[in-house]
Amino acid sequence: MPENLTQETIPAAAASTRSLRLGVAGPVGTGKSSLIATICRAMSEELQIGVITNDIYTDEDARFLRSAGVLPEERIRAVETGACPHTAIRDDVTANLLAVEDLESDFAPLDLVLVESGGDNLTATFSPALVDAQIFVLDVAGGGDVARKGGPGIARADLLVINKIDLAPYVDVDVEQMLADAVDAREGGPVLALSRKQQDTVDRLSAWVREMVAKHRAGSHTPQDPGPMAPHFHADEDGGYIHTHDDAEGADAVRHQH
């Protein structure tokens, strides 16, 4: 340390304010906000938690979480993505990164910041520049064969959650088969069956989060990129277009106008 720079003169920001940044992605309505509420409810006494939500035009998810009363309201902040939600978690993560850093410095030290992606399709994943680890959420109501369809989030997120298993008998889904398909699609990567109504499954989710926070603190977790999104369709007033995030073609390359 230079002679004139004593411990007292090191700016506060140099002290570690870095939480585990944990992304939660998955198709619309699979239960991302509910899963975040469940983690907050189960773990807010043992961990200091903050939440960033992403919605296209509203702050609806943030309002849902605030009204659930699972965290002090000021620890839940919304980023309005204004465009396709995956752009803000993958191609240009600036708005989200600033929101995470502000939260970390306003409430330092936080242990965990959960970043909820806007509901998207099967292909959305977070950039490792934004999150240290990510959960991909499917639900049984989306159909028992979804896990077999693969995609970067299903195959390579740090954890795949099959949510709402309490609904399986009503939608004729065999949960064990769906879990087995998911384990195959992930070549053995972790898969968790979840229902917020079944405490044993919530306990397993908390245990996974606890272990990930511990690994992050110990420096033994390396963020992985699940891989680029597959080309996908965006509807607009003129019908829509296929959009690809293939690096070779540029983040917003448009392959085909409809």
* Ligand-binding site membership of 32 (annotated): yes
Amino acid at 74: E
Q: Would you say 197 or 258 has its CB closer to ligand GTP? A: 197
- CB of 7 closer than 8 Å to CB of 18: no
Question: What's the min distance (Å) between Cβ of 77 and ligand GTP?
Answer: 15
* Ligand-binding site membership of 27 (annotated): yes
H, E, C per residue of 193-243: ECCCCCHHHHHHHHHHHHHHHHHHHHCCCCCCCCCCCCCEEECCCCCCEEE
Question: What's the min distance (Å) between Cβ of 120 and ligand GTP?
Answer: 8
* Ligand-binding site membership of 128 (annotated): no
Q: Closest residue (Cβ) to ligand GTP? A: 119
Q: Would you say 77 or 164 has its CB closer to ligand GTP? A: 164
Q: Would you say 108 or 143 has its CB closer to ligand GTP? A: 143
Interacting residues toward ligand GTP by CB under 6 A: 28-34, 61, 119, 163-164, 166-167, 195-197
* Ligand-binding site membership of 250 (annotated): no
Helices (H) and strands (E) in the chain, counts: 7, 10
* Ligand-binding site membership of 29 (annotated): yes
Question: What's the min distance (Å) between Cβ of 37 and ligand GTP?
Answer: 7
Q: Would you say 34 or 244 has its CB closer to ligand GTP? A: 34
Spatial strand order of the sheet with 112-116 comes to 76-80, 49-55, 112-116, 20-25, 133-139, 159-163, 191-193
Question: What's the min distance (Å) between Cβ of 33 and ligand GTP?
Answer: 3
Spatial strand order of the sheet with 232-234 comes to 232-234, 241-243, 254-257
Q: Which positions make up the binding site?
A: 26-33
